[in-house]
Amino acid sequence: MPKQQAATRAPGRPRRPDVEDHVLDAAIALLAERGIDGTTMTAVVERSGVARATVYLRWPNRQALVAAAIRRSMGRPILKGTDNVERDLRAGAERVREIFSSRSFRSVFPALVAALTRDGPDEATVSYDLIAPGRAVLADVYGRLAADQGFRDDVSPALVIDLVTGAHIGHYLATGEAPDEAVRDEIMEIVLDGLRRRA
């Protein structure tokens, strides 16, 4: 083997590109079937067929693995702000609508609620900010730019984002169906009308 090739080859066995898929798919299936308490590291290892050491190398604990599985079930990249308040709020609403349109996400939604509302931190508790980092991104855009773009600045930016998200969640819980585009638009017209600064 030429010296240059030998010098650039990574040590050890190459990483299997399908490992993450096997592990996260197994975790999603377990969350849907057994809930948060049934989605243990041992159960994921057994379901996925991936070595325990390999799983722990990528996800050091159950919180990290559950959070990664829920993010995978959402099927969407993390939202990035554009510094246009209305455009970003509408994009956030569409992202929530898309996520609830995912059958995979709806299957783990009960486990997500259980994980977020547990009493006291434990190995099955996950952080909302870890699951939905776009909330902080959009809240930052609103907090910095709302006043300059004609929106109220006397309200909590995080609460504004929660109104948009919560309305979609409420619709899903009330109807059992993901919000469609018409529902999304109606939600946003109500929210934006309430946020626009009056003369």
Query: What is residue 122's predicted lDDT score, i.e. its pLDDT?
Result: 67
Q: pLDDT band for 8, please (50, 70, 90 cuts).
A: very low
> What pLDDT is stored for residue 116 in this prediction?
87
- Say if residues 142 and 71 touch (Cβ distance below 8 Å): no
What are 171-181's pLDDT values in tens digits? 999 999 999 99
Chain segment 77-111, per-residue pLDDT in tens: 888 899 999 999 999 999 999 999 999 999 999 99
Q: Which has the higher per-residue pLDDT, 69 or 125? A: 69
How many C-beta atoms surround the C-beta of residue 177 within 10 A? 12
The answer to whether the CB of 86 falls within 8 A of the CB of 62 is no
In the chain, the domains with their CATH numbers are 17-73 (1.10.10.60), 77-195 (1.10.357)
Helix then strand then coil, in percent of the chain rounded to 5, is 70, 0, 30
**pLDDT confidence bin for 123, thresholds 50/70/90:** low
